[in-house]
Amino acid sequence: MKRNKLFGVFLIAILGLSAIVSCSKDDDKNGKNDPSKPVVTSRVSEIGEGWAVMEGYINNKDDKGFPIFKLSEYGFEVALAEGTSKARIVLGSLDKDNGKMIGTIEQLAPDTRYKYRAFATDGTSYWYGDYKEFTSAKPQKPYTEKDGVMYVVLSEEEKTARAEKIGETVKKALILDEIKIKNKEYKVTEVCYNIAENSTSLESVTISDNVLYIGTAAFSGCENLKEVTLGSGIREIGMSAFNNCVKLSSIRIPDKVTDISWSFIGCKSLSFLYFGQAQFSNCSLQRIKNRSFEGSTSNLQKIYCTALTPPKFENNDEFFTDQVRNYTELYVPAGKKSAYQNAPGWKNIKSSNIKEY
């Protein structure tokens, strides 16, 4: 029975894919292939710094050229090769005439091993290929490593560098203020996206004062991360930067951060929350956007906010849980209790629990 090959590339971490035979969930358990099910194959066609292109085929036609199944979704699951990181799902575009699919994945950590497998579904059943592995590209710009942290040149003209990757076995990470790369000094101003995403080893991280920006999902899913120290220079914390850091008990937001967006979802052990680095610092926080602390305030005991003007909330309900409304203590600058008592969101906290320092 001849079958046309469907081709698929998906936004996925660097994929080095070879032929993958898909199986249904039951067939996977029994180690069998059912010839009446779609067959998924794939390969990596191109790898660049932080991205990869993948090609693939899904064999889903009978001998007359008609589809066997009406597939609703097809793509790849990609995760770190070691640990229990959550897989990223990448979908691609499909040329129905020749069965080709193509897609690109971005934001890959450099020089990192990933595992992946192709999949297809008709909305009811799923068919998977075997897991394969690939290694993402090394940085093309000059780089160096210090105490388990990789740094790469960001701008030669401005003499800046970025912390690019934290090693998989590092427990305590320090992001330096400055780093020497090929005998030149560079100021470290950024923390890369996904720098330690889903690390199972990382327990504490300290980010020095020269850093201005923390990238998307930088420490997301670090299940054993307990201590985080953020430098005073930080102005922006990327989306999902600390999501699902389930053992993180406190966080202090630097004074120069103006917005928080989806950055601390699922930090269920959070007990102490500081908006502002010092008691009398008058932080610049203006907005706490929707879902920023979703699932993170049910154990919150104390909030310290040094902003003279109460920051605005895009969504009150997900932050002001029963715990926050009735039991959490809020500490605000002297003379500002009334402002917080009457501000949207903040006024949900029991008046007797709002205190001036």
Rg of the chain over all Cα atoms, to the nearest angstrom: 24
Indicate whether 301 pLDDT > 60: yes
Identify the DSSP state of 5.
P
Average pLDDT over residues 76-91: 78
List, as one string, the DSSP characters of 325-338.
HHT-EEEE-TT-HH
Specify the pTM: 0.70
Note the pLDDT of residue 295.
Answer: 96
Per-residue tokens: 45: 């066609």
Q: Which residues touch 102 (CB under 8 Å, ≥6 apart)?
A: 7, 8, 9, 53, 54, 55, 92, 93
Going by DSSP bridges, is the β-strand pair 213-214/184-191 parallel, antiparallel, or unpaired? parallel
Higher pLDDT, 10 or 196: 196
Per-residue tokens: 30: 């029994």
Q: Which residues touch 82 (CB under 8 Å, ≥6 apart)?
A: 113, 168
Q: CA angle at residue 226 from 247 to 150, to 5 degrees?
A: 125
Higher pLDDT, 62 or 186: 186
CA distance 186 to 169: 26
Indicate the range of 18-32, 63-77, 239-253, 335-349 predicted with least confidence: 18-32
Distance of CA 137 to the CA centre of its chain: 19
Q: Which residues touch 199 (CB under 8 Å, ≥6 apart)?
A: 83, 166, 168, 170, 219, 221, 222, 224, 225
Domains annotated for the chain, with CATH where assigned, are 23-135 (2.60.40.10), 143-356 (3.80.10.10)
Indicate whether 133 pLDDT > 90: no
Average pLDDT over residues 186-209: 95
Residue of 233, 200, 187 lying closest to 214 (CA atoms):
233
Q: Which residues touch 352 (CB under 8 Å, ≥6 apart)?
A: none
Q: CA angle at residue 187 from 185 to 140, to 5 degrees?
A: 75
Question: Per-residue pLDDT tens for 162-180?
Answer: 999 999 899 999 999 999 9
Residue of 123, 133, 2 lying closest to 61 (CA atoms):
2
3-state SS of the chain: helix, strand, coil percent to 5?
Answer: 5, 35, 55
Measure Cα distances from 248 to 130, 137, 196, 258 in Å: 35, 31, 15, 22
Indicate whether 148 pLDDT > 80: yes
Coil/strand/helix, residue 293: coil
Question: Per-residue pLDDT tens for 217-257?
Answer: 999 999 999 999 999 999 999 999 999 999 999 999 999 99
If pLDDT is split at 50, 70 and 90, which confidence band does 36 have?
A: low
If pLDDT is split at 50, 70 and 90, which confidence band does 84 have?
A: low
CA distance 201 to 171: 5
Q: Which residues touch 141 (CB under 8 Å, ≥6 apart)?
A: 152, 153, 154
CA distance 153 to 190: 11
Going by DSSP bridges, is the β-strand pair 132-135/51-59 parallel, antiparallel, or unpaired? unpaired
Indicate whether 20 pLDDT > 50: no
